[in-house]
Structure 1
Amino acid sequence: MSDPPRAAYLRGNLGSFAADMRRMINAPELSDVKFIVGEEKKVVYAHRCILAYRCEAFSAMFAKQHLSCDAKEAEIPFDLSDVQPEVFLAVVEFLYTNCVMLSSKIALDVLTSAVEYGLDELQKLCVDYINSTLTVESACEALQAAVTYRQTGMKDKCLAFIEGHTKVVLDKPVPEIAKEVVCELRLFLLTPEELTFLEAENKKDNFIAVDKIAEVWKFHALKKPSGIAFHLLRRRKGTRPRDHHKYLNLYHK
């Protein structure tokens, strides 16, 4: 008597599956949740079950709404005014298809959202894209993001790119040449934990002057940004909010 055939796990056409799932992105039909996204208040339609099972942050968001309101109030859209619609749609695309379309315009902001939503695989895709598309114009901002989100490989890539594209004048060391650019980093936006990490990393190459880091620690201690240049306190679009930013916001009102 022959043995029964073994069970087998077989895959269909993943490409067609992803294409079908992509058709559901921002489709009003059969959607059960809405988001009002960005300053332009763009409506984005989605499906709770997909977002919740793919992302713990959305699962917690929906669970909190379910516990705090009745069935009628559950239809109220979620307000996401601090993210660009194209960035949020990129996140949704990844959740639906496990793929994402990135461009230099949105990659850093998508990375920010990936960190905020705890999407490790999307973070990796963003970092790989940013590393492969660095330009003279984008390298400093990418370096800032790498330090903020503790992406060591991305940080090293940015530093190597900056060093490789820095014109050496009178045989001066790169940190001295880059001093004026480094002074424009918005260090005041970092949390104390992030600043501690940056301070430890900075000991390796001394790109950032010690007195600049001390100035940021002074701000954290006093919660008073007086005397600090206005543009160094302004959040970059897509920057993840931190608790201490409320002191910066009050300063600008």
Structure 2
Amino acid sequence: METPGLVHGEAAPFSTALRSLINNPQYSDVCFVVGQEQQEVFAHRCLLACRCNFFQRLLGAEASSGVPSPVVLSTVPAEAFLAVLEFLYTNSVKLQRHSAPVSFPLPVTGSVHTHCGLERNVCPPREKSGYLSQLCLEFVMKVLDVELVCEALQVAVTFGLGPLQERCIAFIEAHSQEVLRTRGFLELSASALLPLLRSDKLCVDEAELVRAARSWARVGAAVLERPVAEVAAPVVRELRLALLAPAELSALEEQNRREPLIPVEQIVEAWKCHALRRGDTARGAPCRRRRGTLPREHHRFLELPFK
């Protein structure tokens, strides 16, 4: 609602002027040390305090304690923090699809949710579409592709961003084979991989999923310096081994002896489905076909069609 008598000047020059103050030591009265690189970032207390309750509390506590600058925020990536400042100073932020991962809006989104509270403080509730976190999420969802989707899924799972997680899973379901071959897939955490392996809509055959799970576990084992079977334990239960043909199951069993990945009892359960010529209706999922499951002769005995 317009205020009577209130006139507006041009917004662009005003925004440009404020943008020139971002990380500008001239006239600044607070210095932040951000990220693991301990980068110095200069800012202006009054502007941060009036735009964001988080900074109002932070800078008020810092001033009352008598502790001088700099203010240390070691867990916030420098690029993300600068993007947050850009939004606070200008009410806009430049997001680029092909930036390096650390400067992409995913870390911005995480920092917003865990540190700055901008989704609650920059805009009043009725203007939710203007929250910085929401703007970043909308941008990420628009530009999702095979190379980005696993990184986005990891951020969504880590910070509890439900809509982004749903969008990422839907994208992976439609592009399963391509995504499984990406580096991002190998770098997923177990908690991010689990919802994928539980999906009936993956457009990939179970044999390929088993191979992808083994590659994922090998990478995790190397990074964490733990046994492959230990790293794989949280996720391999979601593999549907009964969908494999007897020859494939035998080959998997032999490989499992050389490099343990799957608990022996899980393989035994798969053999039971073959021996009994039926799926275990009590458990259901281990025999339920996915969208990309290739047909095999024994599937007609499972009586558990894709849902």
State TM-score, norm by structure 1: 0.63
Partner SS state of residue 66, structure 1: helix
Aligned-partner Cα distance in 1 for 2:188–2:29: 42
Aligned-partner Cα distance in 1 for 2:171–2:196: 17
User: Once the two structures are superposed, what CA deviation does each residue of 1:124-153 show, in whole Å capped at 9, x if it has no partner?
Assistant: 111011111112122112112223333332
- Give the counterpart of 1:146 among 156, 161, 172: 156
Task: Please list, as runs of the form range in 1=range in 2, the aligned pairs for 1:96-245 lying within 5 A after superposition.
Answer: 96-104=89-97, 105=101, 106=103, 107-116=105-114, 117-120=116-119, 121-167=131-177, 185-187=188-190, 205=199, 229=221, 231=223
Aligned-partner Cα distance in 1 for 2:187–2:31: 39
Residue type of the alignment partner of 1:110: V
Partner SS state of residue 115, structure 1: helix
State the 1:13 CA deviation: 1.1
Aligned-partner Cα distance in 1 for 2:23–2:162: 35
Residue type of the alignment partner of 1:148: T
State the 1:53 CA deviation: 1.3
Aligned-partner Cα distance in 1 for 2:159–2:8: 36
User: Does the 8 A contact of 1:186 with 1:232 survive in 2?
Assistant: no
- Give the counterpart of 1:12 among 9, 12, 23: 9
State TM-score, norm by structure 2: 0.52
Q: Which has the higher helix share?
A: 2
Residue type of the alignment partner of 1:83: V
User: Once the two structures are superposed, what CA deviation does each residue of 1:200-248 show, in whole Å capped at 9, x if it has no partner?
Assistant: x8898479xxxxxxxxxxxxxxxxxxxx947469xxxxxxxxxxxxxxx
Instruction: State the number of aligned residues.
Output: 186
Aligned-partner Cα distance in 1 for 2:48–2:200: 43
Aligned-partner Cα distance in 1 for 2:221–2:172: 25
Task: Tell me the residue number matched to 2:87.
Answer: 94
Higher relative contact order (CA 8 A, sep 6+): 1
Task: Tell me the residue number matched to 1:211.
Answer: none
CA distance change for structure 1 residues 12 and 145 in 2, over 3 Å: closer, same or farther?
same
User: Does the 8 A contact of 2:118 with 2:132 survive in 1?
Assistant: yes
User: Does the 8 A contact of 1:185 with 1:232 survive in 2?
Assistant: no
1:68 to 2:65 alignment: yes
CA distance change for structure 1 residues 93 and 122 in 2, over 3 Å: closer, same or farther?
same
CA distance change for structure 1 residues 131 and 232 in 2, over 3 Å: closer, same or farther?
farther
State the 1:55 CA deviation: 1.2
Root-mean-square deviation (CA, aligned residues, Å) is 3.3
Aligned-partner Cα distance in 2 for 1:23–1:123: 23
User: Does the 8 A contact of 1:39 with 1:81 survive in 2?
Assistant: yes
State the 1:28 CA deviation: 1.2
User: Which is greater in Rg?
Assistant: 2
User: Does the 8 A contact of 1:108 with 1:126 survive in 2?
Assistant: yes
